[in-house]
Amino acid sequence: MFPRIFDRYLGRQVASATLIGVALLSGVMVLGNVYKKLDQLLGNTELPLSVIAEFVMLVIPFSLIFTIPWAFLTGILLVFGRLSADNELVSLRMTGMSMPRICAPVFVLAVALSGICLWVNVSLAPAAKDRMKRLFYQVAVKNPETLFQEGQVLDRVPGYRIYTSKRHDKTLTDLHIIMLKDANAINYIHAKKATLHTAPGSMDLLMEMEGTTAELLPGQDKDKEKEKEKDKGSQNGSSEGSSFKTQWLKLSLSEMQKDVVRVNASMKTTSALAEEVSTWKDTVTGEALTPVTRSLSLTELNKRYSFSLACITFALVGIPLGVTAQRRETSSGFALSLITATVYIVFIILADTLNDKPAAMPHLIMWLPNVIFLGMGGWLFYKLSRK
C-alpha cells in the first residue's frame, strides 16, 4: 500500500509543478511573441477583439512545444531537489526501494507528456501555423478597409505601395500610390479622395479615386506609358474635368493571398511531408523536389518526432541533476533547467539553420540532442542507482 501512496504523491508533486510551469512559461512566451507575430503578419491593421483572441489561441500551440518539456524538467529538478534535501529519498532507499522503482511514476508521466508533445508537434502546431498565416488574408477579405491605416504604408498588395493620410470607414483621403514592376517604381499617383468598393463573389478590391494626378517616374518609356494610361482610362470609364478626374484602380486580393500565404514545410501536415520525402514531389504544386527542398521537408519531419521525445530525455537527465543539487532554493532548479533546455534547443536551432544544406544532414542533427542527453542521463542515473 505504501508504494501506491508514494507513487500518487510523487506523481502529483511533479505534475502540479509542471502544470504551473506550463501556465507561467506559456503566458510569458505568448505575451512576448503575440505582438511581434501580429506585426509581422498584420502590420498595423486594426483588428476586432475576436480576431486577436483567435490569434492568441493559435500562438499557444507553438509555446507548448517548448514549455511542456521545459516545465517538466523544472518540476523534476525542484521536486527531487527537495526530496534529496529533506532526506526523503534516503528513507525510501532504506525501505529497499530502488531508484528505478522510486522514479517509476515520473517516467510514466514523461511518456504521457511525450504523447501530448507528439500530438502538438505532429498535428496541432502545423495546423495552427497554417491558419495563422491565412488569418491576414481572411481579415482583408472581410474588412478590406482595415488594410489602409492612417499614416502607414500598405505594402501587402503585390505591385503597389500605398500611403493613406486619413481614413473614415471606406473613404480615404490624400493617397500616395507608387506602382511597381519587377521591384522597380514605374508610376506615381496622388489622389485627393478614394472610396473602396467590393463586389459580391469577387476577390478584387476596387478603389474609386477622385482628384488624381499621375506622374511617370524617371527611366520609363513615357509614350508607351501614356498610351497604356489612355487605354486603361477608356476601359474603366474615367472622366476628366478641369480640376478633378475620376479613376478606378483594381487591387487583386487573390494575388495578395499568393504573396502573403506561402506554404512552407512547417505549415504542411506530417503526412504531406512524409509523402514528399518518399516521392520527391511537392504535395502543393506537384512539382519535383530538389535536394534542397527535400532536405527542408525531411528536416521538418524529423524535428516533429525528435522534439516529442524531449520529456523522456529530460526525465532521465533531470532526476540525477535534481538529486545532486540537494538545495531547497527554487533558483537553483530554474537555473539548471534553463541551462539544460538551452543546450538542448541549441542543437535544434543548429539543425534548422542547416536545413537547406543536404550535405550537412540536418535531419540527423535533429536527433543528436536526444542521443547525447539520453546517453548522459543514462550514465548519471546508473551512478545514482548504484549509490
The whole-number pLDDT of residue 40 equals: 52
The whole-number pLDDT of residue 328 equals: 46
Summarize pLDDT for 36-88 with one digit per residue, the tens.
665 555 555 556 677 777 878 888 888 899 899 999 998 998 888 888 888 88
CA distances from 56 to 13, 185, 200, 264, 352 (A): 29, 37, 30, 21, 25
Q: Can you tell me the distance from the alpha carbon of 329 to that of 203, in angstroms, rounded to the nearest whole number?
A: 60
pLDDT of 20 strictly over 70: yes
Q: Mean pLDDT in the chain?
A: 80
What is the band of 235 on the pLDDT scale with cuts at 50, 70, 90? very low
CA distances from 216 to 90, 177, 182, 187, 353 (A): 84, 12, 16, 5, 43
Q: Can you tell me the distance from the alpha carbon of 296 to that of 132, in angstroms, rounded to the nearest whole number?
A: 21
What is the band of 239 on the pLDDT scale with cuts at 50, 70, 90? very low
Give the predicted TM-score (pTM) of the model: 0.73
Which of helix, strand or coil describes residue 354? coil
Cell of 66: 517548448
pLDDT of 313 strictly over 90: yes
CA distances from 281 to 107, 259, 272 (A): 40, 22, 10
What is the band of 242 on the pLDDT scale with cuts at 50, 70, 90? very low
Q: Can you tell me the distance from the alpha carbon of 30 to that of 243, in angstroms, rounded to the nearest whole number?
A: 53
Q: Do residues 319 and 330 lie in contact, with contact meaning Cβ atoms separated by under 8 Å?
A: no
Summarize pLDDT for 332-362 with one digit per residue, the tens.
656 777 788 888 888 888 988 998 899 999 9
Cell of 95: 525501505
With a pLDDT cut of 70, the percent of the chain lying above it is 79
| Average confidence (pLDDT) over 192-204 | 77
pLDDT of 203 strictly over 70: no
DSSP of 171-222, one letter per residue?
EEEEEEEEEEETTEEEEEEEEEEEEEEE-TT--EEEEEEEEEEEEEPTTS-H
| Average confidence (pLDDT) over 307-334 | 77
pLDDT of 237 strictly over 80: no
The rounded radius of gyration (Å) of the Cα atoms in the chain is 29
The whole-number pLDDT of residue 232 equals: 46
What is the band of 301 on the pLDDT scale with cuts at 50, 70, 90? very high
Instruction: Specify the amino acid at residue 324.
Output: T
Is pLDDT larger for residue 28 or for residue 114? 114
pLDDT of 330 strictly over 90: no
The whole-number pLDDT of residue 362 equals: 93
Q: Can you tell me the distance from the alpha carbon of 197 to that of 207, in angstroms, rounded to the nearest whole number?
A: 6
Domain-by-domain residue ranges, the chain? 2-140+264-386, 146-259
Task: Choose among 254, 250, 180, 264: nearest CA to 209.
Answer: 250
User: Could you tell me where the beta strands, DSSP code E, fall in the chain?
Assistant: 152-154, 160-168, 171-181, 184-198, 204-216, 239-240, 245-252
DSSP of 320-333, one letter per residue?
HHHHHH----HHHH
| Average confidence (pLDDT) over 274-289 | 89
Crossing angle between the packed helical segments 291-307 and 270-279, to the nearest 10 degrees: 140
The whole-number pLDDT of residue 204 equals: 75
Task: Choose among 266, 267, 265: nearest CA to 276.
Answer: 265
In sequence order, the 6+-apart residues with CB closer than 8 A to the CB of 197 are 170, 205, 206, 207, 208
Summarize pLDDT for 113-147 with one digit per residue, the tens.
999 999 999 999 998 888 877 776 676 667 777 77
Q: Do residues 69 and 314 lie in contact, with contact meaning Cβ atoms separated by under 8 Å?
A: yes
The whole-number pLDDT of residue 263 equals: 72
Is pLDDT larger for residue 223 or for residue 252? 252
Summarize pLDDT for 161-171 with one digit per residue, the tens.
888 888 887 88
The whole-number pLDDT of residue 260 equals: 53
Is pLDDT larger for residue 62 or for residue 300? 300
Helices and strands, counts by H and E, the chain: 14, 7
Is pLDDT larger for residue 105 or for residue 139? 105
